[in-house]
Structures are given as structure tokens and as C-alpha cells.
């Protein structure tokens, strides 16, 4: 048994805080999405439940909890129950290695600084990629175990889409790893401290603009969000792989989707936008900058969904394999040449 030091307690507190922050961020995203969609479509959206509709997500959750939990008779019971668990677990687990703040002593409570990260792994970037590839199983098992044609087609399409875009995601990630010279996310963020000429921050998005675009595109495709959300398109496939789910299992899938969005934005912030570094604030309060940057990326996510039309499935797969993958490989080659020439 390790000793009960203040550091250990702080680590446990961090775990609890991150878990609840993710849950709250999913709830907040529900509200943000609906209000933002309304604003983009020049209507009001939910404004009645609580002040400005802020309690709307909680009302939704309560409604979902009271719904009856259905299961089709021919569905495979074990897999039907397991699929949303896998989706939600992978969504939460990916955030375990994402650092969201600099060294902090929690206002002097700790004897030494502690980074705001649940687990400091020195192959953190690869762990995120690994967990992203595990989340395919939640969807494919949901599609298969529901024993319904809409679910099966939606599940297979969605998982094929996810594994196709994982390649470009990985290539864009590797390009940033070349520039950042480390696999650990904390080191990559710390490599983005400071500014050129005192004005332009040393973020990797300026060194890797194409990589950032590829990463965000592949991230949107990975999380099955518009314009790549054909597998759960309401018009074409009823609801895709979660057609047969109701009540809390359905809520789990949506929770998983929103948390995946938050994780992709958080990792993009760490890799490309300088993480928690920003002017005017000391490093120990850097998590405020982190939240602002993640919020900006989430705003783009929602904006894209309600502005762009949906890709048809064959257009989506064609884009992933014939456009995004070659572009990401070329980006990797150019980055490698650049790193070699400019000496790292």
C-alpha cells in the first residue's frame, strides 16, 4: 500500500474532478448544441427550462431515465448490454492521459508541483490512438447485437468509416510528434511555450497548418459527427446503430459521442494550439486557457454540423481514402524533410 501523502489524495481528487468535469461537459454540450443550432437557424431553442434553458440537459436526462429499457427479443443480450458500456468506457478512458494544466501546487496546498493530468504516460499520444481504435467495438457490437437491418448496416458503415479515418488521424498525429520530438503530450505542450518575436505564440498549428486541418477532419469523422455522420443519419437509416436502444443505453451512446468530441478537441488543443500556455496568466492557472481553446474547437464542431450538408457514404469513404490519406502522407513527408533540414 502506498503511503497516504497529500500527493496521492490530490491524484484521487484529480480523477474524480476529471470524471465529473467530463460528465458536465457532455451536459453542457447538449445545451450549447441546441442553443447554437437555434441561433444559426434564427430561432430560439430551449429557453424555458431554468434560466436561458440551462437546465434543459438535466431535464433530458431525467426523461431518459424514466423511459422503459427495451431490448429486441432476438437481440444477443450480453452484447446488447455490453456495447454502450464499451463506447462510454473508451470515451472516458481516452481523457485519462490528456494533460490540461501546467505544474500547480493547488494554491500552496501541496509540497511540490503536480501536473493536471490523470496519468502521465510517456507514450500518451499512442495511448489515445489505441483507445480510439478500441471504441470501434462499441459501435460494431451495437449494430450486430440489435439484430435489425438498420442497426447492422449503420454499425458496419460507421465502423468502416472509423477505421478508414484512423489512418489519416494517425498520420497527422505522427507529423506533430516529429515536430514536437516526443510522444508524451506534456512534453509536446511544453515545447509550445513562448512566442516568436514576442507576439506570435509558438503553437504547432503555425508549423503544421495542414496537419491541423487533417487532424480535425479525421477527428470529426472518428466521432461520427456531421458532415460525416451518415451512419446515424436520421433521414436515411432511422438512427443507425442505436436504433434499437432506449433510455440509459441510448444516453450512454450520446454521452460517448460528446465526450469523444471533447477528447478530440482537447488533444487537438494540446498538440496544435499550445495547450495551457497563454498570455497574462501564470502556468498554474493555465487550465483556464485550456478550457477557452477547447471551447473554441467545440464551437467549430457544432457550427460545422449545422452548416454543412452531409456526405453520402461512398463520397465519405472516397474522401477518406483517396484524398485525406495521400494528403496526410505527403504532409508527413514534408514535415520529416523539414525537421531534417532545420535540425529539429
Partner 1 sequence: MTLFYVFAAVAVLASMLVIAQRNPIYSVLLLIASFGALSGLYVLLDAPFVAVTQIIVYAGAIMVLFLFVVMLLNAPHEDTEFDEHVHPLRRPGAMRLGAVLAAALIAELAWALSRTGAATGGDFQVAGVSSVRAIGRSLFTTYAFPFEVTSVLILVAMVGAVVLARRDSGPSVPPGA
Out of 64, 126, 213, 239, the residue judged to bind partner 1 by CB under 8 A:
126
Residue with smaller CB distance to partner 1, 76 or 236: 76
Residue with smaller CB distance to partner 1, 76 or 103: 76
Instruction: Please count the residues of this chain forming the interface with partner 1, following the rule CB under 8 A.
Output: 22
Q: How far apart are CA 144 and CA 279, in angstroms?
A: 50
The answer to whether residues 96 and 119 touch, using CB atoms and an 8 Å cutoff, is yes
Q: How far apart are CA 275 and CA 277, in angstroms?
A: 6
Q: How far apart are CA 194 and CA 201, in angstroms?
A: 6
What stretch of H or E contains 343? none
Binding mask 84-113 for partner 1 (x = CB under 8 A): ------------------------------
Comparing CA positions, the residue from 248, 239, 297, 232 lying closest to residue 29 is 297
Shortest Å distance, C-beta 274 to partner 1: 23
Q: Kindly state whether residue 79 participates in binding partner 1, applying the rule CB under 8 A.
A: yes
Comparing CA positions, the residue from 106, 25, 103 lying closest to residue 275 is 103
Q: How far apart are CA 113 and CA 99, in angstroms?
A: 14
- Which of 115-123, 226-234, 236-244, 309-317 is the region at the interface with partner 1 (rule: CB under 8 A)? 115-123
Q: Kindly state whether residue 183 participates in binding partner 1, applying the rule CB under 8 A.
A: yes
Binding mask 129-168 for partner 1 (x = CB under 8 A): xxx-xx-xx--xx--x-------x---x--x---x-----
DSSP structure class, residue 320: I
Residue with smaller CB distance to partner 1, 98 or 297: 98
Subset of residues 319 to 338 that bind partner 1, contact rule: CB under 8 A? none
Q: How far apart are CA 320 and CA 329, in angstroms?
A: 12
List of residues 6+ apart from 236 with CB closer than 8 A: 230
Task: Catalog residues that contact partner 1 under the rule CB under 8 A.
Answer: 76, 79, 121-123, 126-127, 129-131, 133-134, 136-137, 140-141, 144, 152, 156, 159, 163, 183
Amino acid at each position: 500500500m502506498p503511503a497516504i501523502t497529500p500527493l496521492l489524495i490530490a491524484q484521487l481528487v484529480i480523477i474524480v474532478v476529471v470524471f465529473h468535469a467530463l460528465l458536465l461537459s457532455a451536459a453542457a454540450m447538449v445545451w450549447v448544441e441546441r442553443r447554437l443550432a437555434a441561433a444559426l437557424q434564427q430561432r430560439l431553442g430551449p429557453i424555458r427550462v431554468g434560466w436561458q434553458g440551462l437546465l434543459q440537459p438535466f431535464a433530458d436526462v431525467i426523461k431518459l431515465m424514466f423511459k422503459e429499457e427495451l431490448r429486441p427479443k432476438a437481440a444477443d443480450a450480453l452484447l446488447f448490454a455490453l456495447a454502450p458500456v464499451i463506447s462510454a468506457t473508451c470515451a472516458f478512458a481516452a481523457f485519462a492521459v490528456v494533460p490540461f494544466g501546467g505544474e500547480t501546487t493547488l494554491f500552496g496546498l501541496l509540497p511540490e508541483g503536480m501536473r493536471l493530468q490523470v496519468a502521465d504516460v510517456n507514450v500518451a499520444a499512442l495511448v489515445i490512438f489505441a483507445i480510439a481504435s478500441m471504441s470501434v467495438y462499441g459501435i460494431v457490437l451495437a449494430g450486430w447485437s440489435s439484430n435489425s437491418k438498420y442497426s447492422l448496416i449503420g454499425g458496419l458503415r460507421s465502423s468502416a468509416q472509423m477505421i478508414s479515418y484512423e489512418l489519416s488521424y494517425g498520420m497527422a498525429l505522427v507529423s506533430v510528434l516529429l515536430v514536437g520530438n516526443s510522444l508524451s503530450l506534456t512534453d509536446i505542450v511544453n515545447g509550445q511555450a513562448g512566442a516568436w518575436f514576442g507576439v506570435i505564440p509558438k503553437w504547432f498549428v503555425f508549423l503544421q497548418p495542414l496537419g491541423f486541418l487533417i487532424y480535425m477532419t479525421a477527428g470529426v469523422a472518428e466521432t461520427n459527427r456531421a458532415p460525416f455522420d451518415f451512419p446515424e443519419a436520421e433521414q436515411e437509416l432511422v438512427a443507425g446503430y442505436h436504433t434499437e436502444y432506449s433510455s440509459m443505453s441510448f444516453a450512454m451512446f450520446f454521452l460517448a459521442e460528446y465526450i469523444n468530441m471533447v477528447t478530440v478537441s482537447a488533444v487537438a488543443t494540446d498538440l496544435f494550439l499550445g495547450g495551457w500556455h497563454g498570455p497574462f496568466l501564470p502556468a498554474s492557472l493555465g487550465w483556464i486557457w485550456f478550457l477557452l481553446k477547447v471551447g473554441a474547437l467545440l464551437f467549430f464542431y457544432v457550427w460545422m454540423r449545422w452548416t454543412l450538408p452531409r456526405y453520402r457514404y461512398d463520397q465519405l469513404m472516397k474522401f477518406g481514402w483517396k484524398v485525406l490519406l495521400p494528403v496526410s502522407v505527403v504532409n508527413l513527408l514534408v514535415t520529416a524533410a523539414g525537421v531534417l533540414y532545420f535540425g529539429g
